């Protein structure tokens, strides 16, 4: 058994960011539980060909750990994984991270007022971690969404999800089917097209795609960033400002969205000469309704003789033949499922049992909710990072993680032995606040079905419907009144150094 003040589950950006925030708040009694064999989260799990971030590299990192060594404007996946490994070492966190130790179940023990966390994993016997507070930093892109395709089990060749890439599968010179045209697929298809005999791409819905641009950084660039950290800080500030400006076009400001859509249409027209193919690749929903993608390689690959675009979903599979909903048949040797993740219904929620013997999944049965996108009524001393309304559609998610981690550390620092029980009215009011802010956005009104909205309630549950500045200001207004008074302790908690 391990006894700690804080247990953090997950060692990706969120878990590492939380560990850093705890350290800066003077909280040293914590452990980070990671089910895999290394840190890195999404950037450890996703190793498909062509993987890179679509947020500028100098914004996609912790403010306290600028990296002068990024290879270019957009970092490769392996670079980001290496960056997270570096941050763990730089922060001296290795002895706090328990690898191959997954959370099997977490239950609030009302009598002892602690979280009992059953852990285990490859090479580890079942064990128990007892913690005053529990931080779920499990990420929103951890469990692949596998479509229920009739006959999938009959396919004789390799079949795998993009997030579980089979590097041993013989793909060179083969006929490869790719299901999906989202953020992963537009990177995978050009990479596969260079070595495959042919790529067949099954598109259910086209995406709005804008130019990626960006450059490789030279040795001189990297040396300058290393020698002049103020230049790196200025670049990050510029990238942050650009991201905040981008919110208008993504959320639905008419003028900004029209300008951005014109850029996307011009990009499509410049790269796809065939009017019929161009029509198939043109979305019929508002710009910003779904995730806007960045690529300079996807359209040329689709337009080449190496790729066939099937403008229909997969209907069923019969052995090596994939039948599409448009009636076409395609004989393939391998199948890649670039079908996204279980995002609005987080798998870890089934494992967490709160004060009233209710699971977090049951509490979220009509969509994820939390006050400040971080703390949940009925689940004392629990914090969720990268969960309800904590993602962004316009900038770096790391910015939100840092704000959430700072809030959680601030609350824990001021706790002074109190049990933090979220006022249900505060959670409901925050949920209503989110709904009002989201109501007029393209995510809700743009005429598409996206992974930001929970289909059980029709609420926007994944994205924060505002700028990073707005979220920072919202957390600054959280003064401790979101927590119920602890009857065992007086006075009540506040976060400004005063008591009430």
pLDDT at 53: 97
User: What's 264-312 look like in SS3?
Assistant: HHHHHHHHCCCHHHHHHCCCCCCCCCCCCEECCCHHHHHHCCCEEEECC
* pLDDT tens-place string over residues 1-24: 999 999 999 999 999 999 999 999
Q: Are residues 326 and 351 in the same domain?
A: no
Q: Are residues 124 and 270 in the same domain?
A: no
**Is 232 domain-assigned?**
no
pLDDT at 345: 85
pLDDT at 497: 53
- Of 47, 448, 471, the residue nearest 252 (C-alpha): 448
Name, in order, each residue with C-beta under 8 angstroms of 82's C-beta and a sequence gap of 6 or more.
none
Q: Are residues 34 and 182 in the same domain?
A: no
CA-CA distances (angstroms) from residue 296 to 36, 43, 147, 451?
33, 22, 28, 24
- Rounded (10°) CA dihedral 159, 178, 442, 253: 130
Helices (H), 358-396: 360-363
Q: Are residues 297 and 159 in the same domain?
A: yes
**Is 472 domain-assigned?**
yes
- Is residue 462 a contact partner of residue 346, using CB atoms and an 8 Å limit? no
Among 303, 337, 371, which residue terminates a domain? Answer: 337
pLDDT at 126: 85
pLDDT at 491: 55
Q: Are residues 14 and 139 in the same domain?
A: yes
**Is 64 domain-assigned?**
yes
What DSSP element (H or E) covers 352? strand 352-353
**Is 264 domain-assigned?**
yes
pLDDT at 122: 59
pLDDT at 317: 98
Query: Which residues of the chain fall short of a pLDDT of 70?
Result: 121-124, 488-500
Among 337, 357, 387, which residue terminates a domain? Answer: 337
**Is 489 domain-assigned?**
no
What is the CATH number for 352?
Answer: 3.50.50.60
Q: Are residues 163 and 127 in the same domain?
A: no
**Is 323 domain-assigned?**
yes
As given in the structure block, the two tokens for residue 181 are: 């045209």
Among 322, 337, 352, which residue terminates a domain? Answer: 337
- Of 406, 393, 359, the residue nearest 378 (C-alpha): 359
Q: Are residues 92 and 168 in the same domain?
A: no
CA-CA distances (angstroms) from residue 225 to 159, 234, 396?
43, 10, 20
DSSP 40-91: -THHHH---TT-B-SS-TTTSS-TTS--TT-SBSS-BHHHHHHHHHHHHHHT
Q: Are residues 469 and 372 in the same domain?
A: yes
Q: Are residues 76 and 178 in the same domain?
A: no
Domain span at 366: 2-143+342-476
Q: Are residues 328 and 410 in the same domain?
A: no
As given in the structure block, the two tokens for residue 212 are: 């990626």
Q: Are residues 362 and 468 in the same domain?
A: yes
pTM: 0.95
**Is 333 domain-assigned?**
yes
- Is residue 470 a contact partner of residue 437, using CB atoms and an 8 Å limit? no
Q: Are residues 45 and 137 in the same domain?
A: yes
- Give the chain's domain count: 2
Name, in order, each residue with C-beta under 8 angstroms of 353's C-beta and a sequence gap of 6 or more.
105, 106, 107, 108, 359, 360
DSSP 408-419: HHHHHHH-TT--
**Is 241 domain-assigned?**
no
């Amino acid at each position: 058994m391990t006894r700690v003040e804080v247990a953090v589950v997950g060692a990706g950006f969120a878990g590492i960011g939380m560990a850093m925030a705890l350290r800066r708040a003077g909280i040293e009694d914590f452990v980070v539980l990671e089910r895999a064999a290394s840190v890195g989260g999404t950037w450890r799990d996703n190793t498909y060909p062509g993987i890179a971030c679509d947020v500028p590299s100098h914004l996609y990192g912790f403010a306290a750990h600028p990296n002068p060594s990024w290879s270019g404007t957009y970092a490769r996946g392996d670079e980001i994984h290496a960056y997270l490994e570096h941050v763990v070492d730089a922060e001296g966190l290795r002895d706090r991270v328990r690898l191959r130790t997954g959370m099997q179940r977490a239950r609030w023990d009302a009598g002892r007022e602690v979280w009992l966390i059953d852990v285990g994993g490859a090479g580890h016997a079942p064990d128990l971690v007892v913690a005053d507070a529990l931080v779920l930093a499990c990420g929103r892109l951890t469990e692949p969404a596998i479509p229920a395709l009739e006959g999938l089990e009959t396919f004789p060749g390799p079949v795998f999800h993009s997030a579980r890439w089979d590097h041993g599968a013989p793909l060179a010179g083969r006929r490869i089917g790719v299901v999906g045209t989202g953020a992963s697929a537009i990177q995978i298809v050009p990479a596969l097209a260079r070595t495959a005999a042919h790529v067949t791409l099954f598109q259910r819905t086209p995406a709005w795609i804008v130019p990626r641009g960006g450059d490789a950084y030279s040795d001189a660039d990297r040396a300058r960033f290393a020698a002049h950290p103020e230049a790196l800080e200025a670049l990050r500030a510029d990238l942050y400002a650009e991201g905040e400006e981008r919110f208008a076009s993504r959320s639905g400001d008419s003028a900004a969205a029209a300008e951005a859509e014109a850029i996307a249409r011009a990009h499509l027209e410049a790269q796809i000469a065939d009017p019929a193919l161009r029509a198939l690749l043109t979305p019929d929903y508002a710009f910003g309704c779904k995730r806007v993608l960045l690529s300079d390689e996807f359209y040329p690959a689709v337009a080449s003789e190496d790729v066939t675009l099937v403008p229909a979903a997969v209907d069923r599979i019969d052995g090596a033949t994939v039948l599409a909903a448009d009636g076409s048949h395609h004989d393939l040797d391998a199948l890649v499922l670039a079908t996204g993740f279980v995002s609005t219904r987080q798998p870890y929620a089934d494992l967490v049992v709160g004060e009233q013997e209710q699971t977090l999944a049951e509490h979220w049965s009509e969509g994820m909710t939390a006050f400040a996108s971080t703390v949940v009524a009925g689940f004392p001393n629990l914090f969720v990072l990268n969960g309800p309304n904590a993602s962004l559609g316009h900038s770096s998610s790391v910015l939100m993680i840092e704000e959430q981690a700072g809030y959680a550390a601030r609350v824990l620092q001021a706790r002074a032995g109190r049990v933090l029980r979220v006022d249900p009215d505060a959670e409901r009011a925050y949920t209503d606040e989110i709904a009002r802010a989201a109501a007029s956005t393209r995510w809700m009104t743009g005429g598409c079905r996206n992974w930001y909205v929970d289909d059980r309630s029709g609420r926007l549950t994944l994205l924060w419907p505002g700028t990073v500045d707005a979220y920072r200001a919202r957390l600054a207004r959280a003064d401790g009144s979101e927590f119920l008074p602890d009857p065992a302790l007086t006075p009540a908690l506040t976060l400004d150094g005063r008591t009430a």
